[in-house]
Amino acid sequence: MKITAVILAAGQGTRMNSDLPKVLHPVCGVPMIAHSLAAVKTASSETPVVIIGHGAEAVREFLGERARCVVQDPQLGTGHAVQQAESTLRGKTDLVLVVYADMPLLRPETIKGLVETQKANKGPLTMLTVSAADPRGFGRVVRGTGGSVQAIVEEAAATEEQLSIHELNVGAYCFSADWLWDALHKIKVSPRTPSPVLEPGLSRGNRDYAAGTGTTTQKGEYYLTDTVALAVQAGLTVQALVSDDPVETIGINTRVHLAEAEVAMRQRINRAHMLAGVTIVDPASTYIEPGIKIGRDTVIWPNTYLRGKTVIGEGCVIGPNTIAEDTTVGDCCEILAAVMEGAVVEDNVGIGPFARLRKGAHLCKGVHVGNFGEIKDSTLGSGTKMGHFSYIGNATIGNNVNIGAGTVTCNYDGVHKNPTEIGEDVFIGSDTMLVAPVKIGARSRTGAGAVVTKDVEPDTLVVGVPARPIKKLNEAKND
């Protein structure tokens, strides 16, 4: 069976008060539309169709090859939006899954449940609902004696009995494709009393107004909820899947809603890591983006930010006050108050406090980097120790090297970044300036304050400004 998701992303989002299209606003570092794509991925079999409008080119550029984009212009409501996918999908899919791009908290398992419910439904559609004590002005779902949906009634038109209903329309649907396309052409436009201003709330249901009336707002728009009325009037079964998590049905219309969704997403992510064996000392002050991998028995201290494609191994202690972005950390590392961007850190490494690893930094097994050290585009070999207040850039450093406090690789000549090579078992004295390009041979030493402008042979001690060799270290041992 072919199942295709249609994601509605054409709205302007005026209440966001932003030049950025609403669906590109990030939730936990990921544009909200990307969360929608992830939610429908496991439930659908075909490339999703995204209905775009406001900020269409920016949205299209972000989506790339992950979706087929169809422009809705003019924007005449949600029913009209779904209708734009007809020419792309008619005759090419069995089920159409419809979700909003500004509901980033919908879970993949919920979407999959919606699809599975429709597969077992003899009727043309299944809708997602939620049970909530506070309806916040959203449409009530009225069920018949057999449990099927009979109508969606907006709050302004509800009777006292209907107002006591706690089941609300979320705004996610799964349709039989052949029935859907014909039904969309039957939705009528007629003036009606506008809905009251809605309190920020759980779902998108009443933004579409009531299904069951065959009418829309005075703007002359077509609303997807009217398909429920069409099915009921034809004597067809409308099923509803009730979400057990009101939080996942939060829709975003303002930056206040965006912050609410951010908190909810962080709680979900952190909870999943803790259940998988990670200790998060203070989840409220810990920021972990989707897709981050953390090994068992790792401890995350407060004010830690894990972003991008970061991977943390087992048995680590991260933070407090650590930022890692697109960084891989091995097992049994201790990283305190450090900033890491595009770095690779192998096992048993200690970093910080107040160290910075920039893109291309690679710390091999057992390396230690002290406070206020900075590394960029450089590899530090196993067992190397880098003292505090040092900068290492464009360098390749061997195993078991000691880099004294205040060491600087002077790698930029105003035009090019030049390399520094340091062999194994080298001792770099404090405040050494290594003027690249330069090579320091294995087992050599530099005196404190040396300015090295020429290559140093292995087993050689150099001192001074500029540094000059004063003895061969193996000869000194023989003496």
Pick the catalytic residue: 25, 35, 388, 416?
Answer: 388
Tell me how many degrees the CA angle 387-388-391 measures, rounded to the nearest 5.
90
Active site residue 388: yes
* Rounded Cα gap, residues 479 and 477, in angstroms: 5
* DSSP of 9-61: E----GGG--SS-GGGSEETTEEHHHHHHHHHHTT-SS--EEEEBTBHHHHHH
Q: Which residues contact 43 (CB under 8 A, 6 or more apart)?
A: 3, 5, 97, 108, 111, 112, 114, 115
Taking the C-alpha atoms of residue 300 and residue 279, their distance in angstroms, rounded to an integer, is 6
Cα separation, 186 vs 54, in Å, equals: 26
Q: Which helix (H) or strand (E) holds 180?
A: helix 177-184
Cis peptide before 419 (omega within 30 of 0): no
Instruction: Quote the tokens at residue 269.
Output: 């992510």
Q: How far apart are CA 75 and CA 152, in angstroms?
A: 23
Q: How far is CA 117 from CA 123, 133, 421, 434, in A?
A: 11, 25, 64, 68
Residue pair 207/198 in contact by the 8 Å Cβ criterion = yes
Cross-sheet strand order for the sheet of 368-369: 279-280, 299-300, 317-318, 334-335, 350-351, 368-369, 385-386, 402-403, 427-428, 445-446, 460-463, 468-472
Contacts of 160 (CB under 8 A, 6+ apart): none
SS3 content of the chain, % helix, strand, coil (to 5): 25, 30, 50
Angle, helices 226-233 vs 177-184, to 10°: value is 110
What is the full DSSP assignment across 231-295?
Answer: HHHTT--EEEEEES-GGGG---SSHHHHHHHHHHHHHHHHHHHHHTT-EES-GGG-EE-TT-EE-
Measured CA to CA, the distance from residue 64 to residue 187 in angstroms comes to 32
Q: Going by DSSP bridges, is the β-strand pair 30-31/26-27 parallel, antiparallel, or unpaired?
A: antiparallel
CB atoms within 10 A of CB 190: 11
Active site residues: 388
